[in-house]
Structure 1
């Protein structure tokens, strides 16, 4: 079997050396070239024709995001970003995912050598996943937009988007007349490619949509920026889940990186449970943990959605949701970056409908409408 050809682009000679060593230790991959900046990278990529590129966000001579935007426009190639674990690094990483990067690795700010070696398994797993990913040209990508920051994540920007400012009307909501049931809860699980898939669904939901609970595989330090970015773009309010807070309609709650997220009932209310319990299926947060609680607590009031991602996390628990009366949707293969988690959920018999990403929000709201009005204070 042909090895996965990888090109490493990083301005640090130490990081280039470490990543090359980690890659070349694997029997199924090979580092076929390195570059210290995007100008060198263009030549190396042209000569070596890699299957996957690892790309540092902060680069000399050309911003890493600008280079990524040009790459995706001219020569779409699976990219794993190498990011710094800072607030600014998190926002830049999210922008890279918008531009078409498949996934990212967060390198430590200090102790880079030991830190990268500790992350070796994670790095090579992400390269393997990226090699199989469906890479698409993002719409209207330009270098100017690539260098934009996540400043729109402020509360003022969020209010402007909801009111229809910032360049016209907010995203269109489904045209179907909706009668909302506040009992319903939308339960979403995702991994590789999930940040953009989640964004597309949430941007289509109306302000009075049912509550949404989300587990996206993401490390600590990134989910706060992810939630803030979504909050700036959507009609519903989006935040990291906090332990003990009430799950309310018109709000989406994202599992904090490095914690497990589930839901419980407190009297007549649903509440968030965020804790430091161990990884499940190697993940923390794990979709399995959230979906199992949804099966137990919500039963037929849950609408489950399995989005793009590698592996089987959440498939068995989604079957438990179906057995408890939930209605479940899986993203179809054509619109997935990686058709792993949805495929496993389908094979487990957990899914009622398999839909393109663009149709999922509408299907959710039509399902809610069909359920009729059952208000709960």
Structure 2
């Protein structure tokens, strides 16, 4: 990705100290310049209309109009990519997830509450996320906001809009369901009767994408689902609880020793790699805090994929959705080299950030490239 002219940043926080601290992070930055600050949500809306920033950082907890209320108004009247700054409390995590639903591109957890004197700990993360969020098209934000207002419940799995990878793996060709079903893309030994496991990896934009996918899966799904979403500890529990409330299947934050069950989704807790092990006839969750982060992530999609690739007791459906970076593409190679695997990547059209799926597609091992709305049906197509 090339960055030519500097992206314009507006900083929104009720604390003058925090506004100054965050501004200092971007002093001399080659890609981002701070063009203004705002002290609350109302001030932010006015400044966005006046200054037209490319990206906004916004505190969740502010007087007069908090970050959540402001975000909803911003998405209605002057959409712009927003990075939320959140506290790590339970209510902070829940508010952050609400913000993601309402169209925030991403969030950064403050290390120690509303006024974080040690904010420098998250400087690198914040600068990185702001730089990339500034390039997210406004059309993607509007799509998210509309999807929240008009959730779609799909019960008919026969109508599937698909994209298949052409022979050079660079051009995508739309085909009808009938045509695409006649194309054999590395499905040599696929059988709908053998045992299955579903693996999902995602990052930036993931909470909204997961909601789009997980809520459409039927309770009768004949497979367990393992999910890696790049998130810090404390946030994954709130994500699991929220998805569990909205979904037909059971969703939980994975715990060490959980026995994998069909119709249940297990989300890797922030700070732990998610793995499995075989105990007698069952498979159990293994949470690993000792293996270091991979490409800066723990949990990492690569670690999950690599671990599951060592078991031939089931066929695998691997799904890589929106996110920065390339986590998952290395693990996908391991999966494909060991056993039967169908790989699904989210299309560039619906990704908030087309990083992880793009890296997966570039391995030339992806079987299906589909919009996020169609991922659930595509998963179900390969299950008994």
Normalised-by-shorter TM-score class: 0.7 to 0.9
1:103/1:192 contact within 8 Å kept: yes
Distance (whole Å) between structure 2 residues aligned to residue 70 and residue 298 of structure 1: 50
TM-score by length of 2: 0.85
Question: 2:146 is matched with which residue?
Answer: 139
Query: How do 1:222-241 residues align onto structure 2 when only pairs under 5 Å count?
Result: 222-241=235-254
Question: 2:354 is matched with which residue?
Answer: 339
2:41/2:69 contact within 8 Å kept: no
Q: How many residues align?
A: 343
Distance (whole Å) between structure 2 residues aligned to residue 171 and residue 141 of structure 1: 12
Query: How do 1:6-155 residues align onto structure 2 when only pairs under 5 Å count?
Result: 6-110=9-113, 112-134=115-137, 135-137=140-142, 138-139=145-146
Distance (whole Å) between structure 2 residues aligned to residue 259 and residue 343 of structure 1: 25
> How far off is 1:264 after superposition?
2.1
> How far off is 1:171 after superposition?
3.6
2:111/2:121 contact within 8 Å kept: no
Q: 326, 331, 339: which one pairs with 1:312?
A: 326
2:44/2:70 contact within 8 Å kept: no
Note closer, same or farther for the CA distance 1:264–1:132 as it changes in structure 2 (3 Å cut). farther
Structure 2 alignment gaps of length 5 or more: 160-190
Distance (whole Å) between structure 2 residues aligned to residue 338 and residue 129 of structure 1: 8
Distance (whole Å) between structure 2 residues aligned to residue 306 and residue 106 of structure 1: 24
Question: 2:335 is matched with which residue?
Answer: 321
Q: 277, 302, 305: which one pairs with 1:291?
A: 305
Question: 1:149 is matched with which residue?
Answer: none
Distance (whole Å) between structure 1 residues aligned to residue 136 and residue 322 of structure 2: 10
Distance (whole Å) between structure 2 residues aligned to residue 126 and residue 140 of structure 1: 23
Select between 298-307 and 132-141 the one with higher mean Cα deviation. Answer: 132-141
Q: Give the RMSD, CA atoms, in angstroms.
A: 2.2
> How far off is 1:249 after superposition?
0.3
Distance (whole Å) between structure 1 residues aligned to residue 197 and residue 28 of structure 2: 45
Question: 1:204 is matched with which residue?
Answer: 216
Question: 2:204 is matched with which residue?
Answer: 192
Select between 332-341 and 45-54 the one with higher mean Cα deviation. Answer: 45-54
Higher helix share: 1
Asked if 1:270 is matched to 2:283, the reply is: yes
